[in-house]
Amino acid sequence: MKGYEKIIFFFLLPLLPHAALAQIQMPDGRYRLLTTIVNGDTIPLVNMSGVDIVAPLSPEAAANMQAYLKLRRDVLRAYPYAKLAAVQLRFINDSIAKIPNENYRKKFIKATEKDLKEQFEKDLKKLTVTQGRILIKLVDRETGSTSYSLVKELRGSLQAFFWQGLARLFGSNLKSEYDGESNDAQIEQIVQQIERGELKVQKIR
């Protein structure tokens, strides 16, 4: 084996545990390693995974990739809570439709709100400002109503005004509408990947 061939061989040797040796099974159950002869030397045949070689990203492309990965992370974080909001909204609407008394309906809504707050308030407080904005948009996507409209419908105009003012302090807007065909097209692409099972989201406890 020539000098440069030895260098290549010893360079590839550490990779062998991650590669598949080409071998065949004999009738007696034993395996025979396939080899080839190069310049009189017997060399084992190894099947290695393909490697993609791509050009370095330009600074602009790298920045765009970084921004997209951050957006994907934020959508993955907010999406489960938007789905939860849709499920809870259906539950509340179905429940209050069966309650004829207005006072009982209000009590039911407050009790449900209290339960949800106890379960998820700590987790929701961990969301970043950006994740909170995305959540507000995804709530509109999943329910067909803005967060402001939902609060106003369930808790009244005064409560909606209060929460909208609070959201404004953090740079958010409960009246934000979802626009999956234009302004929120990237978010929509990520959501569709989630719904096709291509991206996994963390389950809510």
Q: pLDDT tens-digit profile of 9-44? A: 444 444 444 445 555 666 776 766 677 777 877 777
Q: What is the pLDDT of residue 44?
A: 73
Q: Work out the burial of residue 101: count CB atoms within 10 Å of its CB; fewer than 13 is exposed, 13-18 middle, 19 or more buried.
A: exposed
Where does residue 116 rank: exposed (0-12), middle (13-18), buried (19+ CB within 10 A)?
A: middle
Cα atoms in the 13 Å half-sphere on the side-chain side of 158: 0
pLDDT for position 150: 66
Question: Which H or E element spans position 42?
Answer: strand 41-44
pLDDT lower than 50: segments of the chain:
1-19, 162, 166, 169-170
Single-letter code of the amino acid located at 83: K
Q: Got the DSSP string for 58-105?
A: PHHHHHHHHHHHHHHHHHHHHHHHHHHHHHHHHHHHHHHTT---HHHH
pTM: 0.62
H helix runs in the chain, sequence order: 3-12, 59-96, 102-125, 129-143, 147-155, 157-169, 185-195
Q: How far apart are CA 190 and CA 76, in angstroms?
A: 8
pLDDT at 100: 86
pLDDT at 194: 93
What pLDDT, on a 0 to 100 scale, did the predictor assign at position 66?
92
- Cβ pair 175, 146 in contact under 8 A: yes
The CA distance from 32 to 22, in Å, is 9
Closest alpha carbon to 156 in 166, 165, 148, 145: 148
Alpha-carbon distance 135 to 142, whole Å?
Answer: 10
The pLDDT of residue 136 is 79
* Residue 144 CB neighbour total at 10 angstroms: 11
25 phi/psi in degrees, rounded to 5: -95, 130
